[in-house]
A and B are shown apart, each in its own frame.
Chain A
Amino acid sequence: MASVALTHLDPASRAAARGWSDLTIRNLFIIPTLVFLIIFNIFPLIYSLGYSFTNFAANRSEPWQFVGLQNYRELLSDDHIWSNFIITAKYVIVSVAGQMIVGFGLALLLNRSFPMKGLITTLLLLPMMMSAAVVGLFWQLLYSPSWGPINYVFGLGDFAWLSNPDSALYAVAITDIWMWSPFVMLLSLAGLSAVPQHLYEAAAIDRAGWWYTFTRITLPLVSPILLIALIFRTMEAFKTFDIAYTMTTQPTAELIAIRLYKQAFQQWDTGKSCALAYIVLIMVLAITNLYVKYLNKVKER
């Protein structure tokens, strides 16, 4: 199958002069990547699966034992872990929904010609290009109860965004929305500009109003690319660590990734944290699978 897709080597090329076949060249390109993937991704993945069935601890030299499914059993019956999952779910829903709305809204605004469009688009993309840890630290300053600009602008007095247990998680979600809406915007813009102009003209001639045109033409045509943005953002939001970790220590904002980090590198419960990592992985895979199924359905229509 694969060899059918290969193009034939130009007999005058240098590669041909060295006696290489197109298969050799294909292998030259692919093998380094494969080796890299196996060493740094596949191998640790399988190795950690092994650890997840043991009581191994990376900071101790004592021999470890095989404990079967005990790690999984303990994790799945631990209320603390479940509350972490619920926190994560809330966070994913709020931050992804926010990013989709803000990002798509911005894309709708930008999808026309106006002066300095390129410059404005680039500036809007900046948050996404920053390091998440830096973003977290800056927003910590912005949220500062006594002299932070956010409380000043909205007249909220000394409201403690990040140390109030009710608001900490949402404060982090707002930061995440600020940082990642541009990503949704970029994908949406690509989708919107791929809608042929003549369809809008035809709709105008057919006397369709703005909302009718938007729901009947724009949305169905950009929905596949919006779904792709949704998949990416959900996966990323599910494993958010850096922003949340730098911004707050509130237990109400303890996402599953933070829990995992603490278990692995503060409690040094390596075997158990491998098991937890696998639980998270399976969940993300399940959610992504649902999306991809739905995406294929949307595309078929």
Chain B
Amino acid sequence: MAHIELKNITKKFGGHTALTSLNLEIADGEFFVLLGETGAGKTTTLRLIAGLEKPTEGQVFIDGVDVADWGAAERDVALVLQQYSLYPRYTVRENLEFPLKPKIRRLPDAEIKDRVARAARTLRIEHLLDRKTDRLSGGEMQRVSIGRAIVRKPRVFLMDEPLSALDAKLREALRTELKNLQMQLGATFLFVTHDQIEAMSMGDKVGVLNHGRIVQTGTPQEIYNNPRDTYVASFVGSPPMNLIDGKLVDNRAVMAPMNFELPLSGAGNAADGRPLVFGIRPEDVYLESGAPVEAHVHDVENHGVEKILTLRVGDTMLRATVPARTDVEIEQPVRFAWNPDKVVLFDKGSGVSLRHAS
């Protein structure tokens, strides 16, 4: 268990800059999720903490100690990778024993047995212990590689997209299991993913990474309700937040290109007349017969519990999540409104939310 801090980390690979003055703090016992697209620098961040890469600039602290000169072995972290990295030719048991058997810190046999048994029980792989690793399914392999991490009781668990090679059902199941495991162990977890659903459902805290920079850190709720900029707004949430260009005139949002207006309260007058982007989550857009704006239904996606409608106003598309019983057809004219309390305003030029800018 440990507290981790990255200070001003820059990492370059030749001419390519993977991370730019990155600052990150992970509290002891926290489940921290690093969320970002492929190539955003998530894996690099993990490898820097694990000691598999050295930062070009900046420092890594584990429990307040600068670990710049420590190798991976001394940092005492566990790393679970997407490609499992099980040792071939060995059985599951031998894989689990591997980290416990190096001569320098070899544990007594009884202790090894006990730890392997406990890890196997936790991950429900007891029946696989004597099987060769190449005879396992993807889910089983990933459990074994998590098992190899937990037998050692490391200070930090680093997980590099451990679930993304699995099929959807298994992914959901392991998601819950991992979260439970973390609570049970009380360990610090750093979990890297490109899947915003994983991030929202598992993380105590989420850090959004874009092009080697941390854009926003916060609880999943903060990230969801109060995105720092349009990138976070469009990356987090499925379907993503609607982003519409417009202006604020007399407490009314005036959408610039095709002139529709919606009421907006509490934005103050500071932003009057300035080019803005209005952000609204699809669930905060609702259909109502007397609502102020007319639109056409462009597309309907039925998700069972709800329907996601794509509405068309002029050339602008926007999504609305409505109850499944709502009866609409494609090209049907409807009227919609939004929940004015939930609107997030972004500066048109910088993309930064006005709430975060001040």
Identity of the chain A residue whose Cβ is nearest the Cβ of B85 in the assembled complex: A202
Nearest residue (CB) in A for B71 is A204
Cα distance, A203 to B71, chains bound together (Å): 12
List residues of chain B with CB within 8 A of the CB of A198. Answer: 81, 83, 85
Q: Does A18 contact B (CB under 8 A)?
A: no
Q: Which of B20-28, B96-104, B231-239, B260-268 contacts A (4 or more CB under 8 A)?
A: B96-104
Query: Which A residues are in CB contact (< 8 Å) with B79?
Result: 201-202, 205
Produce 1/0 per residue, B27-62, CB < 8 A to A: 000000000000000000000001110000000000
Contacts of B88 in A (CB 8 A): 199, 220-221
A198-B83, A221-B88 known; A204-B72 Cβ under 8 A: yes
Pick the residue among A205, A207, A216 that contacts B87 (CB under 8 A): A216
A207 touches B76 (CB 8 A): yes
A32 on interface, CB distance cutoff 8 Å = no
Determine whether the beta carbon of B103 is less than 8 Å from that of A217: no
Contact of A201 with B89 at beta-carbon distance under 8 Å, contacts A208-B98, A208-B102 already known: no
A-B interface contact total, Cβ < 8 Å: 61
Q: Could you tell me the distance in whole angstroms from the C-beta of B38 to the nearest C-beta in chain A?
A: 18
CB neighbors of B among A159-214 (8 A): 196, 198-199, 201-209, 212
Q: Is the CB of B105 within 8 A of A201?
A: no
Residues of A within 8 A of B318 (CB): none
Q: With an 8 A cutoff between CB atoms, is A301 at the interface?
A: yes
Complex interface: chain A residues within 8 A of B52 (CB): 201, 204-205
Q: Is the CB of B89 within 8 A of A205?
A: no
Complex alpha-carbon distance, A216 and B101, angstroms = 11
Nearest CB to that of B74 among chain A residues? A207
B152: min CB distance to chain A, Å:
7
Q: In whole Å, how far is B40's beta carbon from the nearest beta carbon of chain A?
A: 20
Q: How far is the CA of A201 from the CA of B82 in the complex (A)?
A: 13
**Complex interface residues of chain B between 83 and 139 (CB less than 8 A to chain A):** 83, 85, 87-89, 98-99, 101-105
A221 to B87, CA, bound (A): 10
* Neighbouring B residues of A207 by C-beta, 8 Å: 72-73, 76, 99, 102, 105, 152
- A205 CB contact (under 8 Å) in B77, B104, B105: B77
What is the bound-complex CA distance between A52 and B83, given in angstroms?
60
Q: At the interface, yes or no: B148 with Cβ under 8 Å from chain A? A: yes
In the assembled complex, B78 has its CB within 8 A of some CB on chain A: yes
Within 8 Å CB of B72, what residues of A? 201, 204-205, 207
Chain B residues with a Cβ closer than 8 Å to the other chain, count: 25
Query: CB distance B78 to A205 under 8 Å?
Result: yes
By a CB distance below 8 angstroms, the chain B residues around A201 are 52, 72, 79, 85
Where chain A touches its partner, the secondary structure class is helix
A181 to B37: give the CA distance in the assembly, Å. 48
Cα separation A206 to B104 with both chains bound (whole Å): 12
Task: Check B99–A221 contact: CB distance below 8 A.
Answer: no
Complex contact A301–B98 (CB within 8 A): no
Residues of chain A within 8 A of B104, CB atoms compared: 209
Query: Please, how many angstroms separate the alpha-carbon atoms of A198 and B152 in the complex?
Result: 19
Q: Give Cα A202–Cα B145 distance, bound, in whole angstroms.
A: 10
Min CB distance B77 to A, Å, is: 7
Complex-state Cα separation, A184 to B290, whole angstroms = 84
Chain B residue with minimal CB distance to A206?
Answer: B99
CA distance A209 to B103 in the complex (A): 8
Q: In the complex, which residue of chain A has the Cβ closest to the Cβ of B106? A: A212
| Distance to closest chain A CB from B73 (angstroms) | 4
For residue A208, which residue of chain B has the nearest CB? B102
Once the chains are docked, how many angstroms separate the CA of A32 from the CA of B144?
54
Assess A204 versus B73: contact at CB under 8 Å? Given A209-B102, A209-B104, A216-B98: yes
Chain A 124-135 interface mask (CB, 8 Å, partner B; 1/0)? 000000000000
**Are B89 and A208 touching (Cβ within 8 A)?**
no
**Per-residue 0/1 for A225-256: is the Cβ within 8 Å of any B Cβ (1 yes, 0 no)?**
00000000000000000000000000000000
B contact residues around A202 at 8 Å (CB): 79, 81, 85, 87, 148
A16 CA to B252 CA, complexed, in Å: 76
Shortest Cβ distance from residue A199 to the other chain B in the assembled complex, whole angstroms = 6
- Least Cβ–Cβ distance between A204 and chain B, in angstroms: 4
Name the distance in Å between A69's Cβ and chain B's nearest Cβ.
48
Residues of A within 8 A of B152 (CB): 206-207
- Cα distance A205–B53 in the bound complex, in angstroms: 12
Q: Which residues of A contact B81 (CB under 8 A)?
A: 198, 202
Docked-complex contact A301 and B83, CB < 8 angstroms: no
Q: Cβ of A206: which chain B residues have Cβ within 8 Å of it?
A: 98-99, 102, 148, 152
| A101 CB, nearest partner CB in chain B, Å | 24
Most buried by B among A205, A209, A217: A205
Residue of A nearest to B78 (CB): A205
| Minimum Cβ distance to chain B for residue A143 (Å) | 44
Taken together as a complex, chains A and B put the C-alpha atoms of A253 and B313 apart, in Å, by 96
A79 to chain B, nearest CB (A): 47
Which residues from B are CB-within-8-Å of A199? 85, 87-88
Q: What are the residues of chain A within 8 A of B85 when measuring CB–CB?
A: 196, 198-199, 201-202
Closest to A212 in B: B102
Query: What is the bound-complex CA distance between A207 and B148, given in angstroms?
Result: 12
In the complex, residue of chain B having the shortest beta-carbon distance to the beta carbon of A211: B103
Interface string of B283-307 (1 = CB under 8 A from A): 0000000000000000000000000
Measured in the bound complex, the distance between the Cα atoms of B79 and A301 in whole Å is: 27
13 A-B Cβ contacts within 8 A? A198-B85, A201-B72, A204-B52, A204-B71, A205-B72, A206-B99, A206-B152, A207-B99, A208-B102, A209-B103, A209-B104, A212-B103, A220-B88
Interface residue ranges, B against A (CB under 8 Å): 50-52, 71-73, 76-79, 81, 83, 85, 87-89, 98-99, 101-105, 148, 152
Known: A199-B88, A204-B52, A301-B89. 17 other contacts (CB 8 A): A196-B85, A199-B87, A201-B72, A202-B81, A202-B148, A204-B72, A206-B99, A206-B148, A207-B73, A207-B76, A207-B99, A207-B152, A208-B102, A212-B101, A216-B87, A216-B98, A220-B88
Sorted nearest first, the 4 A-B pairs with minimum C-beta distance are A206-B99, A202-B85, A207-B73, A204-B72
